[in-house]
Amino acid sequence: MANFDAQVIELVGTTYTTDQDALNQFITEGANEVINAMPRSIMERVAEETTFTDTVSSEGHKVLAVLKHDGTIDQPCRKVPAFKRGRIQDSSDMEFASSSDPAYYIQDSLITLFPTGSGGKLVSMPTYSQSSPLDASAIATITNFPNEYEYLVVLYAAIKALQQVLNSIVLADASISYSNASVGGSITAAVDSITVAPTDAVGSAGSAYTSPSVTGDAGLTGMEAGVLKDATDQIEFDTFWDTLADMIETNEDIELASTQIAKISTYINAFQAEVQDAQAAMQATIEDARQSTQASIANAQNDVQASIQKMQLSTQASIQNMQFSTNVNITNAAKTMEALIQDYSALVTEKTNEYTWAMGQQGKLQADYDKGIQIMRGA
């Protein structure tokens, strides 16, 4: 007969075989599980006997009976609670343990027999510690275990192995990522610096306007002929009106006042002529500046239009390049995405099939195990 690990692999397949340490644990758990479900009649048939004197550990044993040899036969010992241990040692007590009616108690996993002395015998089923599990790769049978029910241990281990596999079947984390590559570079449309300014500032194309001089004697230069007899008769312009008032009101010299009025009129007429000349010069200057400014604006408009056309051409070229690059990137990304989706779908199908088979196989083995336990209990 094959070892236990080979029997488990036959049921679950090599693809779903767990590691050896876990398999040893499953076999050990299965042996203890079946022993716990086993009827006493079957256990007594395969039980082991261990002789001892006075005390023996109950660790690793499912106690079926404790015997005490009375010199003739092995007497069955009655079990008493540990708190009554004093009574079985008191010869005056009704529960006193004698050679023909021995007794034992268990305290701290230690079996203590009365009367004391040699001749003790422990009848038990062995149990197995998880700290020292059975080696599934080295054994094909279990000592003091009914051979006809060892298959239940194999079924138990196979069910546990499949459960571990089901827990570990996780869809691989298919990382579907789209790297957003640079799309056609940046669009740069440099707009030339546009300066709209007339070539000549207003007033610079002609003579600057200079207001007529109307203060002091200079205002009378060239105008006093026929008005003033000599230079000593010149009067400052800013005192003309005061002088006139003085002539009329104080001196009451009408003739002199009339002369003064004529003088003032002559000066005003001369001043008006200068103002008209200045206005004419100003109009000429403004017209020159207007024509110069219109020319500058026309030139600036041409420059602006040229710059806009240049920018449009540059921008259109950049957009075309970007569209081409973007189309290429999107096409490549779509192909990559499609391949990833296909791989992921295949992985999902594979893992789903594995999970379905493992779950179905576990269900079948569980049914066989439950049926075998029922048969064993009814034996």
**Final residue of a structural domain among 168, 187, 208:** 168
pTM: 0.55
List the pLDDT tens digit at each of the 379 positions of the chain.
799 999 999 999 877 666 899 999 999 999 999 999 999 999 999 999 999 999 999 999 999 999 999 999 999 999 999 999 999 999 999 999 999 999 999 999 999 999 998 899 999 999 999 899 999 999 999 999 999 999 999 999 999 999 988 887 764 444 444 444 444 444 344 434 444 444 444 444 444 445 444 444 444 444 443 444 444 444 455 676 677 777 777 777 788 878 878 888 887 887 788 778 878 887 888 888 778 778 877 887 788 788 888 888 888 888 888 778 777 778 887 788 788 888 878 887 888 888 898 899 999 999 999 999 999 998 6
Beta bridge partners of 50: 122
- Residue 192 CA to residue 20 CA, distance in Å, equals 79
161 and 230 belong to one structural domain: no
Q: Count other Cβ atoms within 10 Å, centred on residue 360.
A: 11
Sequential DSSP letters for 169-226 = ---------------S-----PPPP-----SS-TTTSSPPP-PPP-SSGGGGTTT-TT
The tally of domains found in the chain comes to 2
Range of the domain at 316: 217-352
246 and 120 belong to one structural domain: no
Q: Count other Cβ atoms within 10 Å, centred on residue 213.
A: 12
**Final residue of a structural domain among 168, 203, 226:** 168
Residue 182 is assigned to a structural domain of this protein: no
Residue 196 is assigned to a structural domain of this protein: no
Residue 245 is assigned to a structural domain of this protein: yes
- Residue with the two structure tokens 């080696």: 135
> In one letter, which amino acid is 360?
G
How do residues 185-214 score in pLDDT, each as one tens digit?
Answer: 443 444 344 444 444 444 444 444 454 444
For residue 213, give the DSSP letter: P
How do residues 140-165 score in pLDDT, each as one tens digit?
Answer: 999 999 999 999 999 999 999 999 88
Residue 96 is assigned to a structural domain of this protein: yes
Query: Phi and psi (nearest 5°) for 273?
Result: -65, -45
Residue 32 is assigned to a structural domain of this protein: yes
Residue 38 is assigned to a structural domain of this protein: yes
280 and 152 belong to one structural domain: no
> In one letter, which amino acid is 280?
A
223 and 159 belong to one structural domain: no
**Final residue of a structural domain among 139, 168, 197:** 168
- Residue with the two structure tokens 């079957």: 42
80, with CB counted inside 10 A (0-12, 13-18, 19+), is middle
